[in-house]
Amino acid sequence: MPSKLSTHSHLTVAQLAERLGTSEDYLRRAVLGQRGGIPGIKLGDGPRSQWRIRLCDVEQWEQSRLVCYDAARQSRAR
């Protein structure tokens, strides 16, 4: 029986780069499969192997990186 996964449940490196506003090279070098990075499925060996990244993993990673900045709360040291 075929899987009923949505075609949007996985992203390519190009799609993820567009979503995050960064380069594909940066994602391959510093984010995908790295400690603290986004887990992914590597579809081969070598530096330019194709990756597929689950959308749920991307959303979870984004949530873990949210930062709230409140300039009014910062006080200057005197």
SS3 9: coil
pTM of structure: 0.71
Nearest to 65 by CA among 22, 24, 25, 8: 22
- Joined together, the tokens standing for residue 39 give 């887990």
Interatomic CA distance for residues 34 and 54, integer angstroms: 15
Instruction: Name the burial class of residue 38, with classes exposed (0-12), middle (13-18) and buried (19+) by CB atoms within 10 angstroms of its CB.
Output: buried
Domains in the chain: how many in total?
Answer: 1
Residue pLDDT, tens place only, 1-23: 444 545 569 999 999 999 999 99
User: Is 61 part of any domain?
Assistant: yes
Higher per-residue pLDDT: 46 or 39: 39
Q: Residue 37: is its pLDDT beyond 70?
A: yes
| 44 belongs to a structural domain | yes
**29 is in which domain, residue-wise?**
10-66
